[in-house]
Structure 1
Amino acid sequence: MHRQTFTTTFLGVLATLTAASWPNPEAIQGTIPGSINSTLDPGLIRRKSDGKLFLYTTPNDLTVFTSSSLYGPWTEEPNTALYNHGDALGPGNHGAPSLHHVDDLYYLFYNGHDGVHESNHDGLIGVATSSTLEPGSWDISAGYLGITWMEKYNILDPTLLPKNESRGQQSHLLGFGSYRNGIFNIPLSDDLLDVPAPNGGNNLAYNSTGRHDIEGSYQFYHNGWYYLFFSSGECCKRSGEADQDASQWHWPENAGNVYKVMVCRSEEPREGFVDREGRSCLDGNGGTLVLGTHGNVWAPGGQGALVDEEVGGVVLYYHYVVADQRDEQDVPYRFGWNKLDFSSGWPAVVSV
């Protein structure tokens, strides 16, 4: 996740946002996972062996919540995901977890920082493997993927699109990108631990306006289409000035300028993404609004998608802020989810 304020967003989004209506996040029993330090950029997966859900989130080397049901109750695990695995970055420098199951192994992709380039352009993406998903079980020996640093992208916010040979997709694809020239993907090796062509990133989506405010992509194949979800807008209550006192941080005044979930789609995994109106998402500022601020839900984003039998379909999960708490100094972020209806060919948030 990139941390800068911005003043503009996609053309037409503000009008759509004010007219749209979405259901609230589905009710969760017990404590809703969330705090200022524990629910940004959620990654969600259900373990194959016993159906246990694992919710990984950004801070403290990836805070972990578990549950047997999407409806809760959720339990915060006593140890974070990488608590026993130090690396050269030191503790507290890993984030934006993305969880996937491929060929009997679980894969965790996450953000790091190289400490060499300027702070808003020094991203790295690491990969780890586990057979259980349990905190402390991750093998991080593969380290960080050697994607070539370039001015045009930030190497942040990983997501995996597993190979789909029936559709002619011969390689696993890693999605990434934050601000700058937007969202990219790049082929991974068959074991998902290496990048054979480190400068082979394809540009998928871009916002040419303002601060180029798209990030946090999630690639998802469903019913003949490749969907590209991403967050647009300001993620967080902050000023963008690293040395400014936190009490001076603030949100944009307009709800249209904070995080919202957008989507584009294509029949190909590496090109041709358009929105529902047919606008190119690469050179036409395209993007169809899926979920925005509404009611007491402020700045939903950091999203992912999960096919889950418990709700009989696809789940959109995300973090959000309780709107009437958004001006508190230690504003809490919460985990939320809703079902998606793809009957029109485009994802729509619906109640279960």
Structure 2
Amino acid sequence: MRIAAVASLVLSLLTGLNDPIGHAYENPVSSGFADSFADPAVIRGLDGYWYAYGTSDPLREGEGTHHRLPIARSTDLVSWTYVGDAFGEDNLPPYAAPGSLLWAPDIRYLDGRYVMYFTVTNTTSSPHEWDYSIGAATAPTPTGPWTHLSAPVVAPRPSGDSYWNTIDPAQFTDVDGRKYLYFGGFFGGLWVTELSPDGLHTVGQPTQVAIDNKFEGSYVVRHDGYYYLLASSANCCAGPTTGYSVLAGRATSPRGPFTDREGLPLLASRAGGTPVLDQNGDRWIGTGHHAQVTDLAGQDWMAYHAIDRDDPFLDGPYGINERPMLLDRLDWIDGWPMVRAGAGPSEQSDEAPVTRGFVSLTDDLSGWRGDGWTVQDGYVRHSDGGGALTARRGVGGDIRAETDLRLEGPSAGLRVGRATVTVSADGLTITAGGARRTAALPGGEAASAGLATWHNLAVTVKGRTITAEVSSSRLGDPQATLRLHSPVPLSGGFALVSEGVADFDNVSVARLARPVTRPAPVPRPGRLIDADEFDGEESDGAGGDWQWVREDPDARVTGGVLRWPLQNADLVGTANTASVLLRDAPEGDYVVETKVTLDLGDDTVRNYQQAGLVAYASDDDFARLCQVAIWNTRQVEYGRELPFAGRLSYGGNIVGPPARTTWLRLAHHVDPANGEHEFRAASSRDGRTWTWGGVWTFPKDTVPRIGLVAHGGAQPAVDAEFDYLRVYRTR
């Protein structure tokens, strides 16, 4: 986007603030050009526009034609326009089998060109229908023209008679300049492989970073010295019961090991994962497969897809899932990313990304002064010798300044108040009040040559602390980061500075975003209003206020617990052979809790043994929160079954990792706007530290009861032991 600096200056004098601010927008942000835009990837192009890339589905209901990696463009990250597809109908990679689909793009700017990675669902390497691989294409601009590589970046990976899920690529460049590619999915797990310097070929052997059967859609960023692996979990595409969500782990190396907030590895059978994004009971479910971007004020935002629970399919029921693109604020609280501080997806937002600052410069020198500066080809160039181009408006307070920069001379950068930040072959340097610090750029002599292509320089001033970083794509993987505490105040002028020939583009100064530092509130149990401690005399089954659906004679109260052998039965589907132990729920808001011990072992396949809580309206309308064996993993799954369009739909949402003894909660809330029953799930490994997950809803005209289940398989035989069931009034 080319905006005259004089217009920006006039606007800034009128408002003195970033633009836009306080501007509401509605999700999904892709509605202006698409009904569905799944697996979004986002980047800011060198032309100043933001570009989004989606998986290969039809864009509109009734269209019926798959777009091969559609592309949209925006000036503000909120209003998007379709600008074409990356590839035409007959333009597949040379190694792709006819009819192959292209999924889940990832976009980067590397060494002077755009590189797009994507999943190729079927290659010519075998007759197998789903021998996935990772492909790539390069282009000089964000819209192409794109040129396929002649071979996959990651070839199909055989596993017996099948192939591992070599899907969902995400590229990352480390501070030492090494490039990596993360990929993988439920069947086979998540992996990382080093890439060649050009980012187009693998180097060495890959490393597994997350267990199979739990994660896909990986995305890695570096933040405050840690590497954060964010990935989606549960099912992406179960229509009205899609429980997709985003979880995170972090590490001190791009190869891991990644652990969650409680220190639990993502590679363990009881795999960890700290929630980043979960459905919250509003319109949106299945929130996941995301990208991360930073606006000009330094605020991070997450672009992701979701499903409207009332309109889950693109055309007829049980066809293509309709997954539009949403955008929401991403906060960092106590060292962990959380969408809207943990509040989850929004239907509409009263704030928008800052995509224009109160000082800006693109291709118009109005409002600036300095000799030796010219405009050419849409950017500003400084000629030989030393010089500065100074904005006529000064800057003060907490701000973030940015420029895209390439240099032929010795150095170039920004002067912000009394601090100067420069980039050179020696590295990234901050000088302020006689203090000076330098951080090396990766690559040695190659770094000097690399600076001849565009890089982004971002400078943040907060009080007297100045932070600078250099990156290629502004996507959370800076190649150098440096911080200095200035001995002098930093308010003053703003200028571009250069020794020798240098080019500047997309220059801006914006008020620094104020970070959200407190998480959104979670349900808290208050006064105890109902309980069964299972501490009475030994008896067959449970008495008192309990009611059975298909009574199980093997369930017994003994030794202070309800001991219930797992049944070789289930509730999912039309058979409905499992027993359910229920009691009436109180009116209003409450929290129901149980403590269940279940020895599911580790690593071995024991599908789908489980025990836990249930919110039950009928055999075909329930939400089930259990610790469960899913293949080789042990997870806390929050599943939902309901009737939809003449069939039963089932899907799951993932909460925290289980222990042998796991505490489970369902927090019930009645939505005053529509009367719906909202049940939010939580789990704990010690009864004190709780992980809160997603929300499933029941219509207002239902009367869900609450209770316990223990089923999913009888081999090997194992008992579930429930210590109690307690119901609290919500505080």
Q: Which runs of 5+ in 1 are unaligned?
A: 1-23, 238-249
- Name which of 21, 36, 39 aligns with 2:37: 39
Structure 2: which amino acid aligns with 1:81?
A
Change (3 A) 1:30 1:139: closer
Q: Name the SS for the 1:272 alignment partner.
A: coil
1:332, distance to aligned residue in structure 2 (A)? 2.3
Quick check: 1:137 aligned with 2:145?
Answer: yes
Structure 2: which amino acid aligns with 1:99?
I
Structure 1: which amino acid aligns with 2:254?
P
Are the aligned partners of 1:61 and 1:91 in contact in 2 as well (CA < 8 Å)?
A: no
Q: Name the SS for the 2:87 alignment partner.
A: coil
Structure 1: which amino acid aligns with 2:48?
G
Q: Name the SS for the 2:167 alignment partner.
A: coil
Could you say which residue in structure 2 is the equivalent of 1:319? 305
Could you say which residue in structure 2 is the equivalent of 1:19? none
Could you say which residue in structure 2 is the equivalent of 1:181? 188
Are the aligned partners of 2:28 and 2:324 in contact in 1 as well (CA < 8 Å)?
A: no
Map 1:1-352; keep pairs closer than 5 Å: 27=27, 31-35=31-35, 38-48=36-46, 50-59=47-56, 60-72=67-79, 74-77=80-83, 79-83=84-88, 85-88=91-94, 89=96, 90=98, 93-112=101-120, 113-114=122-123, 116=126, 118-120=128-130, 122-134=131-143, 136-147=144-155, 149-151=157-159, 153-165=164-176, 171-197=178-204, 200-206=205-211, 212-237=213-238, 252=241, 258-283=243-268, 284-294=270-280, 295-309=282-296, 312-326=298-312, 329=317, 331-350=321-340, 352=351
By relative contact order (CA 8 Å, sep 6+), the higher-ranking structure is: 1
Change (3 A) 1:306 1:53: same
Are the aligned partners of 1:215 and 1:232 in contact in 2 as well (CA < 8 Å)?
A: yes
Separation (CA, whole Å) in 1 of partners of 2:30 and 2:288:
23
Separation (CA, whole Å) in 1 of partners of 2:78 and 2:225:
30
Are the aligned partners of 1:25 and 1:337 in contact in 2 as well (CA < 8 Å)?
A: no
Q: In proportion to residue count, which structure has more helix?
A: 1
Could you say which residue in structure 2 is the equivalent of 1:17? none
Are the aligned partners of 1:26 and 1:337 in contact in 2 as well (CA < 8 Å)?
A: no
Are the aligned partners of 1:34 and 1:333 in contact in 2 as well (CA < 8 Å)?
A: no
Over the matched positions of the two proteins, sequence identity in percent amounts to 28
Are the aligned partners of 2:30 and 2:325 in contact in 1 as well (CA < 8 Å)?
A: no
1:251, distance to aligned residue in structure 2 (A)? 5.0
Change (3 A) 1:25 1:213: farther
Are the aligned partners of 2:100 and 2:123 in contact in 1 as well (CA < 8 Å)?
A: no
Separation (CA, whole Å) in 1 of partners of 2:25 and 2:309:
13
1:179, distance to aligned residue in structure 2 (A)? 0.8
Q: Which runs of 5+ in 2 are unaligned?
A: 1-23, 57-66, 341-348, 352-731
Larger radius of gyration, structure 1 or 2? Answer: 2
1:40, distance to aligned residue in structure 2 (A)? 1.4
Instruction: Normalising by structure 1, report the TM-score.
Output: 0.77
